[in-house]
Structure 1
Amino acid sequence: MMSASKPTALRGKLRLGIAQLNPVVGDISGNSDLIRRVRAEAAQEGAHLVLCPELAVAGYPPEDLVLKPAFVEQCMQSVEALAEETADGGPGMIIGSPWLFDGKLYNAAVLIDGGRIQAVRYKTDLPNYGVFDEKRVFSAGPLPGPVDFRGVRIGVPICEDIWNDEVCECLAETGAEILMVPNGSPYWENKAEERLQVAVARVVESGLPLVFCNQFGGQDELVFDGGSFGLQADRTLAFQMPQFEAGVAYTDWVLNEETWVCECGPVTVLPDVDEANWNACVVGLRDYVLKNGFPGVTLGLSGGIDSAVVAAMAVDALGADKVHAIMMPYHYTSDESLKDAADCATALGIRFDTIPIADPVEGFTRVLAPVFAGRAPDTTEENLQARSRGVILMAISNKFGYMVVTTGNKSEMSVGYATLYGDMNGGYNPIKDLYKTQVYDLAGWRNKNRSDCLMGPEGEVVPRNIITKVPSAELRENQTDQDSLPPYDQLDDILSCLVEQEMAVRDIEKRGHDRDLIHRIEHLLYIAEYKRRQAPPGVKITARNFGRDRRYPITNRFRDRS
C-alpha cells in the first residue's frame, strides 16, 4: 500500500476533468480500469479533480444486480483500491458506486484523494417513474452537506437530486461553493434542453455554478447521450461537451471574489433532433451488439423503408463487414422490391444473399392442409411467410453467430401489425420506438447527412424509390399498408396521443380525427400488448416507450367510450 500524502490546498484555481464515460454494467474491474486510465490522463493534463458519472464503477442502471451482496462488496472494494492509488499526489476523483452503510444500500458518490476515501454522499431523491425504479433497490440518503476538496466546498447532488430544489438549497445553505452533479441521464427526444432548463433553475435558486457530468453509451433499451455541460453562476453556459461520444473535457476554474468562474472549456454545438435520434439508434445497437459479444448482425432486407433504415443504422454502428442482409422473396414479392433491396445493399456495401421461401411456405401449407381442410386462406397463410423468414434468419444466426436485428417500427408494434415468431424474431430492434413517419424522416436525413461518429458511407444509403413508393408487406396480391390502416401521419398522431400523452378519446377527436377510428386504434393498441411483451428490446427514443415506460396489463377490458 502506498503511503498517503496530504493533498496541497488549492489557491483559487481548480482544473477539473469531466469524464463522459461508457461503462459496462456489471464489469466492475473493466470499469475501474477505465477510471484508472482517465485518472492517468488527467494527471498528465494537470487536473486537480475528475468528476465521473453516476454509479460509474457498477455501470448504470445496475437494476437488481445491487441486491447481490457480492456485487456491492466488489464495487466498494474497487473504490477503496482506487482511493489508495490517489496517494501518489495526483488528481482526486468523485466516483459513483453502490454503497452499503449501516445495513442500508445507497446510490453514492465517493470523493477519493490523498490515498483514502475523503467523503461519501448518498442520493436523496430516488426516481421511481418511467424507466426508473431506484426505490426498488436503494435507500434514500439524508439531505447532504458539501464535501471538502483541498479547501473547496463542493456540493455533490446525484442526478435526480437536481430535479427538485430541496437538495441544492440545502447544499447552498451549508456552504457549498460549486455544484458537481454525477448523472446517468438517458436520452429521449429534446432531453438535452430539458436537462439544461432544470440545471438553470438550480443555479438561479442557489447562486452557484453547476457542472453536469453525464454517462455515455447504450445499456439494453436505454441510450445515455453524454452531453455534459457546465453553467456559470450567472446562468451562462460555461462549457458544453458533445452528445453520443465518450471523452474527457478539462475546464479551468478561478475563484473570483467568492464565486468560482469557468475560464475555459469546450463548447460543442449539439445535433438537431433527427441527427440525435439517428445517433441514439446507432449507439444503442452498437453497444448492445459489442457489449454482448456478437460478431455482427443479420437482417431481412425486404426492399421496404424499415429494413433499409435498420440496415443503414447497422452499418453506421458496426461497419459494412459486420452486416449480412438476406432477401427472402415469395410469390408476392415484386421485382421492384428485389431491385430496391439489392440497390440498398450495394449502397451500403454489405453482404447480400437471396433465399427464396416458396419451398418452406408450401411445405408448411402441405402438412397443414388436412387440419385446415374446409377453411379459406386468411392471415394464417400470410403469417406462414413471415415465420418462414424468421426461421431462416434464426438458422443463419445460429450457424454464424450473428445476432438477428428486427425491423418493426412503433406504429406497427402499437397496433399489432407484426408476426410473433416471424418478423418479430431477433435480439434487438433499433427502430422499435420510432413511429413510421419518423422512420421516413430519418431516412431522408441520413441520405443528406453523416455524423462523424458513423461508420457508414456518405450519400444516399436508402434508395429514393424505397422512400417514395407505397409501403406494403407484400404478403398477398396488390397489398398495401393502407388497406387496413389509415395514412401513417394520421395513425401516428392518434397513437402518440394514446401512448405518450394518455389523452382521452374525446380530446383526440378535437384534433380532427374520426371517433370510430380512434376507438378502433385504441382497441388494436390494447389487444397487441401480449405481442409487445414478447418483442426484443430496442432503443428508447420517445418520452414513453413500450416496456420500461409503459406497463399495461395484457388482460384488459377497459376501453375509453366516454
Structure 2
Amino acid sequence: MTDPTLPICPRELHGFVRVATVSPALKLGDVQANVAVIRTEMQRLAGEGCRLIVFPELCLTGYSCADLFYLRTLQQQALQGVKQLAEANAELGCCIVVGLPLAVQGRLYNVAAVIADGEVLGYVPKINLPNAGEFYERRWFSPATTLTDTHTDGDGTPIGTDLLFEATDLPGFVLGIEVCEDLWTVIPPSSHAALAGATLLANPSASNEVLGKYQYRRQLITQQSARCLAAYVYSSAGAGESSTDTVYSGHGLIAENGALLGETERFSFQTRVAIADIDLQRLEHERLRSTAFRDAPATQSYSRITFCLGNFAGEESRTNEALKRPLPALPFVPPAGADRKAVCEEIFAIQATGLARRLRQTRSKTAVLGLSGGLDSTLALLVMMEALKRADMPPEAALTITMPGFGTTQRTKGNAEKLAEALRIPLRTIPIGAAVEQHFKDIGHPPGLHDVTYENAQARERTQVLMDVANQTGGFVVGTGDLSESALGWCTFNGDHMSMYHVNAGVPKTLVKYLIEWCATELYADEAGAILHDIIDTPISPELLPLAADGSMEQKTEDTVGPYELHDFFLFHFVRHGCGEEKIRFLARQAFDGKYAGEVIDQWLAVFLRRFVQSQFKRSSMPDGPKVGSVALSPRGDWRMPSDYGGNQF
C-alpha cells in the first residue's frame, strides 16, 4: 500500500500523528444515513492527514434507540454498516473507531469497532454498563465480562477487552480502547492498556449533559491522559441524540499527557470536529523518564493486532502545514489568559523561600548582591527583598553593591542607583577599574588586548569584592545568573558563575523579563515601576568591553550568542522533551515562522548545542539554587551529563 515515490509527511518523520474526534449529525435508528455521514467525515479528515478518527458510542444506530436495540434488523444493518465503512476505508490511510450494538454468542454487546486498511480489525466491548438514574444499559446489553470466546460469530473478527491495535508503519502508534463509562471507574481499562504499551487511548462515548458535568469530564480526560502518559481521544454523542429526558451535547476532547489540545463546540445539531497533532515521541520520552510508569507492572495481557496505514488519502496532508497543537515560541512564559498574578506569586514564593531557608541556616546578617542595573541582578534583588521578609530580617540587611568597570554605561549604573533608592536599601559603589588594571600588570596582560582574559578578570574581580564584603558584614552572597546563561555557559568560571546561592538558577531569560514586567506593573508601580520598565528595555550585556566614543554600549550578548528567545526554545525541547537536533529545528521553524529565517534558526541551534555540551563542567560545579519549573540543570537533581562528553550528534 505504501508508495515510496510519494513525499513523506514531515511531521510524521518527527513523531507526530494527527487525530480527530467527531460528533456527527446522526439520525436515531437510520443506519444508512449515519454511515453516509461517518463515511463523508472519514474521507474528508483522511484527506487532511488524520490517522486516527474517533466517532461516538453506538454512532451507527444512535445511542438512544432504547428497546429498538432488540430488533434484529437494526443489529444486522449496523453490522452491514461497519462492513461498508471498512470498504470505504481502504486506501485512505486512516484508522477509525465507531460504535454499534453487536450480537455475539446469543448476547448483545455495546462495542467499539476498529477499522483500518480496509478491514474491521477487532471489536472492543464495553465493560461497565451504567444502570442507574437516566441510564439503564443492562436492559439491552451484556457486560464484556460475559464473553466466552475471543472471536465474533460468522466472520471470526477478534473481540475482547484485551486488544491493542498497532500501526507498524507509524512508530509509537499503539491504540487502546475503552467505552464511555469505563473511564468513570476506579481503575479504568485504559490504565492497563497504557501499561501494556498503548500510547493512544480512544473513548467512543455517549455522555449526557447536566449542570457542570462538562467541566468534570474535561478534568477526567486530561487527568487520565496524564496518569497514563498517553494521548486520549474522546468522542461523545451529539445534540441529535437528545430524546425524552436526556440531552447530549457532542463534547469531543483531545488530551495529551495532561494538556488539552482540542475540544469541540457543544450543543450543535451540526457535525463538530476537533483535530490535533499528537507527539508520540514525546510520550515515549516521558515514559522513559518516569520511574513510576516504568516500575508499574503490567497487570493484564493484551493481544496486538497489527496493520499498515500507508500513505495519506490527499495531497494536502503531505505538505508541511502548521502543526495542529499549541506550540508556543516562549515555552517558559505562561500563555495568554493565564492567571499572571498567581503564576508570578508562585515563582516568587519558590525562589524567596529557598533563599530565606539558606539565610536562616547560615545565620547571615546581610544578603550581599551585585546590582548592575541589568535584568538578572534586578530580579535577584526583588526576590531577595521578599526572602528577607520570610527570614524575618530587616530590609536594611539587603546590601547591594554596584561595581562599574570598563564597559559600564551610565544607563545601567544610573538604574542600579535609582532602583536601590526607590526600594530604600543601601547601595555601595566600588569601582573595579583600578584593581583590574593592577591585576593586568601582575599577570603581564596588555590592557589594550580585549580578549577573554580582559573580560573574565572583571567578572572575577566583582565576585571577589562581593565575597569579601560578605565576610566583612557577616553576610551571604546572592548569585544572579539565570538558567539560560547556565545552559549556554555564558558566565565566567569562578566569577559570576559562583555565589553562595543562585536564586535565579531555575529561571530562564525569557521568564526573567516576564517576572520583572509583572513586578513593574503590580508590585512596584509606584516606587520603581518606571525604572523596572527601563531595565527591561535595556539591551542585555555583560558590559565587559569598553564603551563607544559617545558612551554607548558596544557589547550586546545576543549579538554574540544569539537571541535568548531562540535559546530558551531550544533548551526547553532539548532537556524537557528529549528532542534531537532535527526535531528542534522542525519545531523552531514552525514556532518562529515569519520572525526568523530557517538559516538563522539553524545557525543559533548549532551554537546552542555546541555551547551546551562544552559548558557542562560549569554546571557540574554550580552553586545550589531553587528549581522553579520542569526544566532545571542542577547536577544534583535534574541534569546529569559527563563534563567531558565528546559526541556531537543529537
TM-score of the pair, normalised by structure 1: 0.49
TM-score of the pair, normalised by structure 2: 0.43
